[in-house]
Structure formats: structure tokens, C-alpha cells
Structure 1
Amino acid sequence: MGGLVKAEFRKIFTVNLWWALLIPVAVLSFGAGWIGTAFGSIEQMQEAAGRSLPTGLLTVSMSTNYSTIFAALFGALAVAGEHRHKSITTTYLTGNPRGAVLGAKLIAYTNIGLLYGLVNVLSASIGGLLGAGLDGFGNPVDWFTVGGAGLLAMVLWTLLGVGFGALVTNSIVAVLVLVAYKFVIEFILSVVLLGSEIAGFVAYLPGAASNGIVGNLAVPIFISAVAGDSEPYVQVEAFQVLHFFFGGTYGHPWWLSLLTFLGYTAAFVLGGWLVSRRRDIT
């Protein structure tokens, strides 16, 4: 297994895709951290409170929600890219059994997912420092908590991408489906379900679940900093507005979002493994 993992790292760093997708993560996260801390309604809340508020935590959540797509795309091309370039035959023949190959890819891409997560959190934090200063992150425990959730979300999206790529094998289809679902299809589903009897199901959709891993931590921490002891009396609309912009779902615990998205990740990885071990590669 060690040799297979080393081989995967060689494949990753031999081509430019890993840093080509990492650059937009850094740029997007930095922009979200800088611009997000100057968001109009948030600035008004700070003025009303008369003190600095942990707006940086919200922007870490927002940057994670958008940046995870790049990790997912990178993961999807782990297997689908090899099918496109016809190198999958050699990979499977030299790394038999096929399950070991997928396992090696999961190990290698977990580490790359951590790298993407670190770049995301640090870039968003630097942008937040410029926009809100050091006081814009609350206490260090809150920053490490939200940042750690961001790392976890990025890793899970990377692994989901690996599983999805192994499932569909077509790199173009994998990229188009992931982007379309994350930014179009799920949004349409959310709008359609809004106000219906099953509106609560939205929180269990893949995108909403992944957003909730970070957003359902960051938003309550921010509300607590604003309201203090009166937090239970804060209007629901305040939570909903923040969740709309920064991710998550009102009243939905972060750990339930984590378990939900972990289930999606496991399902795609398992599906990719089952399909890949029976697929003809000649």
C-alpha cells in the first residue's frame, strides 16, 4: 500500500492541476474574508453593538462553502482523469487489487484535501484580518473550531469527488455534474421545497449539509457574541439572514450536518469502489 500511495503523490505533483485549482481557492477565500467582513448588515450590527464582532468566523464559513467545489473537482479527476488519459489500465494492472488502488487514492487525496482546507482557512483569515482586525475572530478557541470544521468539510468534498469520479469515469461529465449540482440544481430544489411540508429536508441535501458543517458553528457563535445572555430571544429572521449568506440551516446542529455529508461521501466512495472493481478497462 505504501508504494501505491507514493505513486499517487507522484501522479498528483507531476501535473499542474493540483496548484491550478488551489490558486482560485486562495483568491476566493481571501476575497470572501476581506469583502465579507465589510458586509453592510454585519457592519451595522457592529455599530449597534458598539464593539468588534467575530465577523471573520462568518467569512471563513462563506469561503469554505464556495471553495470546496475546487477540492471536489480535483478529487473527481483522480480516477476519471486516468480513464480519460488511458492510464487507468496500467494503474490497475500494477496495483492489483483495484480496491487497493482506490484506497491509495483516498489516502493521498485526503492529504491534498487538508492542504486545500488549510489554504482556504488561512486565506480567509488573512482577508478577515485586513477587513475586521484581530478582534474580528473572537477568541482563539472559536477560530480553531470553525477553522477545523472548514478543514473537515474540504477533506470530505475531496473524498466525495474521488468516489464520484470513480463512479462516472468521464472527467467532463464529472466536472459538469458537480458544478451544476452545487450551484444550480440544489438551489432550484431549495427554492421549490421552500414553504412546503418537507422544507426541512433541504438541510439534508448534500450542499446544505456540507455548508452546515461550518455555518451551523459560525452563525450561532456570532449571534452569541452579538446578543450575549439574550441569545434565546434573538429573532429567527436574524439567524436565517446570516445562514442565507454564510451557510448552514437555522436550528440544525453542525454535527448532524457532518454525519449527513459523511453519509453522502461514504455512499459515493462505496459506489465508486463497487463499480470500478467490475468495470472493463481494456
Structure 2
Amino acid sequence: MNGLIKAEFRKIFTTHLWWALLIPVVVLSFLAGWGGTEFGQMSIIRQMTGGQDLPTGLLTMSLSTNYVTVFAALLGALAMTGEYRHKTATTTFLTANPRGAVLGAKLIAYTNIALIYGIANTLFASLGGLLGAGSDGFGEFAQWLMVGGAGILSIVLWTLLGLGFGAMVTSSVVAVLVLLGYVLVFESLVSSAMSSSAMSWLGDYLPGAASNGIVSNLSVPMFVSDVAGAREPMVSETAYRLLHSVFGGSYGFPWWGSLLVFAGYAAVFVAGGWLTSSKRDIT
């Protein structure tokens, strides 16, 4: 197993994929951290709260995470489909026994790369937030750690989901189109359609909503608590929903619930990838 893991790291660092996808992660994280604290809804919220220093960095860290998770999913999916596109899957599966060990090695290797993505997202979103909101924009250090850690978890889970999905479809083109189509278009349409029906509660259990909630359902209550203080119980549901509409997540759904839901999706795709890889003809 150690040999397979080392081989996966060699594959990763001798190709351009990992750092090519890391570039937009860094750029988007910084822009979300800076732009989110400096522009948009933040000026309105400052006016409503009398211009006080606000922990807006907590919110924009969740915003940046929700933007960049798609690149983590693409990283995982393309890592697996690339084996089939370049015909390296044949040699890999024939020399590794059992086949499941190959996927296991990839899961371990790409979890480590996903940690790099997650840490980069947290650091660059924080740097942008420091420029936009100053050092008072992140609340307490423990809060920054919790939100940053939740973001890292979200990125790791998206990477694992992408690996499993890539193992199932094997085509790089299909993997990219389906992931981007779902994240950017399809779920929004489904969520909008359900919002006006009796099934609106299911929206919190969709993959994208669950992923967003891992960070946003943690950061929004922290933000409200810091701003409202002892008056927090008096904060209206409308205020929460306004913040969630901008920064993701949903009112009243716990962040750990979102984590469990999305971890379930990731587990299903990893299991599906393992099953299809173990049975597929690779000659």
C-alpha cells in the first residue's frame, strides 16, 4: 500500500493538474475575502449596525469556500478519469492487487492535496478579509479556526466525492460537464422549484446546499451573535435568511447536520467508484 501511495504522489507532482486548479482557488479565495468585506451587502449591514467593527471575515471565509469547492471536485474527478484517458489505468490495475487498493491510495494522496487546497483557501480568504475589514473582522481566534477548519473539511469531502464520481464515469469531458452543470445550474433550478412547494425542506439535503451549510451554517450564527450580543434572541428570522441568501447555508439547519449529509454523499460516490472500478474491464 505504501508503494501505491508513493506512486500516486509521483503522479500528482509530475503533472500540472494540481497546481493549475490551485491557482483559481487562491485567486477566488482572495477576491471573495477582500471584495466580500469591502463591497456588496457589507456596507448596508454596517449602516444598520451603526458602523461598528463587524466580523465580516467569518462570512467571507464561508463565501470563498463555497466558491472554490467545485475546483476540489474537479481535481478529484480528473485525477481518476485521467487514468483512463491516458491509458495508465490498465498498467496500474494489473500491477496492483486488489484493484480497490488503487482507489484507496488515491483517496489518501488526494486527501493530502485537498488539505493544501483547504489551507490555501483559508489563508488567502483571510488575507483578503484583513485588507477589507482589518484585524477586527474575524472575531475571536477560536472562531476563525472553526470556520477555517469547516472549510477545509468541505474541500476534502468534495475532492473525495470527485474521485468517486470520476471512477464511475471514466470520461474527463463527462465528469467536467456534469459537475459544473450540477453545481452552477441544475441544483439552483431544482432548489428554486422546490422553494415554493411543500417539499422546500428537501433543499437543505441537496449536495450543494449541504456543502455550503458546513461553513455558512457555522459562520452566520457566529456573526449574528457577535453583532447582536445579548440581543441575539431578538434578531429576526428575516435577518438570518438575508445573510444566508448571500453567504450560503440555510436558517435553522445545524452546520454539523450539513456535514453529515454531505459526508453521506461523498461516501456513496466513493463506494460507487470502488464497485465500478473493481468490476470494470480495463483491457
Pairwise same-fold verdict (TM > 0.5): yes
Q: Which amino acid aligns with 2:220?
A: V
Q: C-alpha displacement at 1:46, in angstroms?
A: 2.5
SS of 1:277's equivalent in the other structure is: helix
- Structure 1 CA distance for aligned equivalents of residues 143 and 209 of structure 2: 22
Q: C-alpha displacement at 1:44, in angstroms?
A: 3.1
4+ residue runs over 3 A deviation: none
Q: Which amino acid aligns with 1:87?
A: T
Query: Aligned residue for 2:13?
Result: 13
Q: C-alpha displacement at 1:253, in angstroms?
A: 0.2
2:39 is the counterpart of 1:39 = yes
* 8 Å contact kept, 1:65–1:211: yes
2:33 is the counterpart of 1:26 = no
Q: C-alpha displacement at 1:235, in angstroms?
A: 1.4
Q: C-alpha displacement at 1:236, in angstroms?
A: 1.2
Query: Aligned residue for 2:244?
Result: 243
- Structure 1 CA distance for aligned equivalents of residues 131 and 261 of structure 2: 34
Q: C-alpha displacement at 1:232, in angstroms?
A: 1.7
Deviations 1:98-137 (Å, cap 9, x if unpaired)? 0000000000000000000011110100000000000000
- Structure 2 CA distance for aligned equivalents of residues 45 and 261 of structure 1: 31
- Structure 2 CA distance for aligned equivalents of residues 122 and 23 of structure 1: 14
Any residues of structure 2 matched to 1:224-239 within 5 Å, and which? 224-239=225-240
- Structure 1 CA distance for aligned equivalents of residues 133 and 220 of structure 2: 17
Unmatched runs of 5 consecutive residues or more in structure 1: none
Query: Aligned residue for 1:223?
Result: 224
Query: Aligned residue for 2:262?
Result: 261
Query: Aligned residue for 2:179?
Result: 178
- Structure 2 CA distance for aligned equivalents of residues 158 and 123 of structure 1: 19
- Structure 2 CA distance for aligned equivalents of residues 280 and 9 of structure 1: 25
- State the identity %: 65
SS of 1:15's equivalent in the other structure is: coil
Deviations 1:18-62 (Å, cap 9, x if unpaired)? 100000000000000000002343223234244211100100000
Query: Aligned residue for 1:4?
Result: 4
Q: C-alpha displacement at 1:247, in angstroms?
A: 1.0
Query: Aligned residue for 1:77?
Result: 78
Query: Aligned residue for 1:162?
Result: 163
Give RMSD over aligned pairs.
Answer: 0.9
161-170 or 32-41, which deviates more: 32-41
Unmatched runs of 5 consecutive residues or more in structure 2: none
Query: Aligned residue for 2:273?
Result: 272
Q: Which amino acid aligns with 1:215?
A: S
SS of 2:252's equivalent in the other structure is: coil
Deviations 1:197-251 (Å, cap 9, x if unpaired)? 1101000000000000000000000111121112122111111111111111110
Query: Aligned residue for 2:89?
Result: 88
- Structure 1 CA distance for aligned equivalents of residues 40 and 186 of structure 2: 29
Aligned length: 282
Any residues of structure 2 matched to 1:59-74 within 5 Å, and which? 59-74=60-75
TM-score, structure 1 normalization: 0.98
* 8 Å contact kept, 1:49–1:226: no
Deviations 1:120-159 (Å, cap 9, x if unpaired)? 1101000000000000000100000000000000000000
Q: Which amino acid aligns with 2:149?
A: G
TM-score, structure 2 normalization: 0.98
SS of 2:279's equivalent in the other structure is: coil
- Structure 2 CA distance for aligned equivalents of residues 119 and 163 of structure 1: 23
